[in-house]
A = this chain, B = another copy of it.
Amino acid sequence: MLRTHTCGELRISDTGNRVTLCGWVQRSRDLGGMTFIDLRDRYGLTQLAFNMETNPVICEAARKLGREYVIKIQGIVKERESKNAKMPTGDIEIIVDEVEVLNIASTPPFTIEDQTDGGDDLRMKYRYLDLRRNNVRANLELRHRMAIETRNYLDKQNFLEVETPVLIKSTPEGARDFVVPSRMNQGQFYALPQSPQTFKQLLMVAGFDRYYQIVKCFRDEDLRADRQPEFTQIDCEMSFIEREDILNTFEGLVRHLFKTVKGIDLGELPRMSYADAMKYYGCDKPDTRFEMRFCEMNDLVKGKGFKVFDDAELVVGICAKGCSEYTRKQTDELTDFVKKPQVGANGLVYAKIGADGSIKSSVDKFYDPEVLKKWAEAMGAEPGDLLLILAGEANKTRKALSELRLEMGTRLGLRNKDNFQCLWVLDFPLLEYGEEVGRWFAMHHPFTSPLAEDIALLESNPGKVRANAYDMVINGVEVGGGSIRIFNKDLQKKMFRILGFSDEDAQAQFGFLMNAFEFGAPPHGGIAFGFDRLCSLFGGAEGIRDFIAFPKNNSGRDVMIDAPSVIHAEQLKELGIDVKGEISRGCLIAE
């Protein structure tokens, strides 16, 4: 090794020892008689001291070292006169007597500090410098720890890690595939997996019993801040189990991760039906760090002459504790918030409950104090609270109120990122109707089993059939989801028919799975967690990008390596494909 110690490990007990350190020059202070340099590596910072009086040659040399120079030094560990309690190495410094410059560095385009002056684009272009920042590196260290602990837990539970193929077959169901032209089978394409779904089910048919994989998946979708074309899943499947076994096993995984990575003991995880989640939170992934449950008010508001409420399919409200003193400006802000296109309400009705119990609402014209009191009672409101009420088409109104609820949670400081509330959401609908194309779609995927008691409804009332599916939600974020699978060939065929597949299409696309079901498929089910998202949640961040070493931007570009890029004409020729005329001009590299 070029060093005897890292920059994070020397302590007062090392005083007097001669050591060799390597690292990057973090910062340099020149105090006339002394020059101090903070030397940085992955493990920490160590202060280097250079004395102009006792060793002017080396002190002069030190003064020439620029930021981010890579150096190797030797010297003696000495107790510091003014200790720095904030640094693990803050009790000591190194009196340096040898310096070797291993590599020089140009001035970085942004400062390598926890708070950087680099904008997003610049940070991504120089991601290798951005990754030098402690907080970004800490995110990836967290990710490493999460992966190790996930594997430890699952290994102990007898799960086998099996790698499934990346070059697979395109299926038009679901999101858009990335495809890979085959040179050896010209005119044909592989697809990159959106998930190893069918392979993990085949592993269950193969008797592997318990499978997992931390695996890259791919979706060619238009990107949002929180989506990447390649993302990572913790993908799992089990045989000879029922839903309860999956819930227990993976509740165990999440509990293990919180315990080992964050030192947090989670209690037993609450469960909620999809129907209740929609009714009480307007959303299938409620943030349960705070209550503020919905109160449906149709019975209390209809028939008093207020047309907005009278015409509404649903009138529904929430109670914001302690907000009765909101000013006109504040209630106007909330009205503006709900009217934003992405929220989509037409307006907001509010009622303030004064300290004396008197109620003042924005619809006093239509509702007398006695009625308003009933509203307050229904919502469990107390003096000092603010009622916020939306009305309109049921689904749309629930969605809008869900947004308003989250907004109020944020305003009231109820969404602390260090408070973790986990929740299972159960009994999702199996199917949803796609109006534009006039057919049913699988809400989860076509391999999800209906609840046994709902199978009879499959043909008569598909929309009422509940799936044997489950999502894990943490702080309002869906971090995982799965289902008990269909393992019977006839039921699987019926499912494909309901989804509008002809028998031929189903056979062409999923024949290998349905054929496999002929040879003794066991009852099985599984789950997949979004690993990037889970890591960012543990790291207390909103976005997933800083938990991915080399992410892509919203156009799917890696701006650091400048990919995707044009390729040689010879490569296209070998693959038997052409770039379309108008696109190709100026795009191809000639041979």
Assembled-state Cα–Cα distance A154/B265 (Å): 28
Contact of A131 among B208, B232, B241, B578 (CB under 8 A): B208
Contacts of A148 in B (CB 8 A): 151, 155, 161
Residues of A6-62 whose CB lies within 8 A of B: 6, 22, 24, 40-43
- Is A2 at the interface (CB under 8 A from chain B)? yes
Q: Interface stretch among A367-375, A538-546, A563-571?
A: A563-571
- Is A164 at the interface (CB under 8 A from chain B)? yes
Asked if A577 and B576 sit within 8 Å, CB to CB, the answer is: no
Contact of A566 among B188, B230, B519 (CB under 8 A): B188
Asked if A206 and B131 sit within 8 Å, CB to CB, the answer is: yes
In the complex, the chain B residue whose C-beta lies closest to that of A585 is B187
Contact of A70 among B164, B172, B222, B521 (CB under 8 A): B521
- Is A552 at the interface (CB under 8 A from chain B)? yes
Asked if A162 and B140 sit within 8 Å, CB to CB, the answer is: yes
Query: Contact size class for A?
Result: 35 or more
Asked if A556 and B185 sit within 8 Å, CB to CB, the answer is: yes
Asked if A41 and B578 sit within 8 Å, CB to CB, the answer is: no
In the complex, the chain B residue whose C-beta lies closest to that of A206 is B131
Contacts of A366 in B (CB 8 A): none
Contact of A167 among B187, B198, B229, B242 (CB under 8 A): B229
Asked if B108 and A519 sit within 8 Å, CB to CB, the answer is: yes
- Is A81 at the interface (CB under 8 A from chain B)? no
Contacts of A132 in B (CB 8 A): 206-207
Contacts of A209 in B (CB 8 A): 6, 41-43
Binary contact track A181-221/B, C-beta < 8 Å → 1, others 0: 11111111111100000110011011111000000101010
Asked if A163 and B42 sit within 8 Å, CB to CB, the answer is: no
Asked if A512 and B561 sit within 8 Å, CB to CB, the answer is: yes
A64 to chain B minimum Cβ distance, whole angstroms, is 15
Asked if A520 and B68 sit within 8 Å, CB to CB, the answer is: yes
Q: Interface stretch among A97-105, A405-413, A420-428?
A: A97-105
- Is A3 at the interface (CB under 8 A from chain B)? yes
Q: Contacts A70-B520, A165-B550, A206-B129: A583 and B576 contacting too (C-beta < 8 A)?
A: yes
Residues of A336-361 whose CB lies within 8 A of B: none
What would 6 A/B residue contacts be, using CB atoms closer than 8 Å? A42-B207, A103-B521, A132-B206, A144-B160, A148-B151, A169-B562
Q: Which A-B residue pairs are the 6 nearest by beta carbons?
A: A105-B520, A131-B206, A169-B563, A187-B587, A188-B564, A182-B564
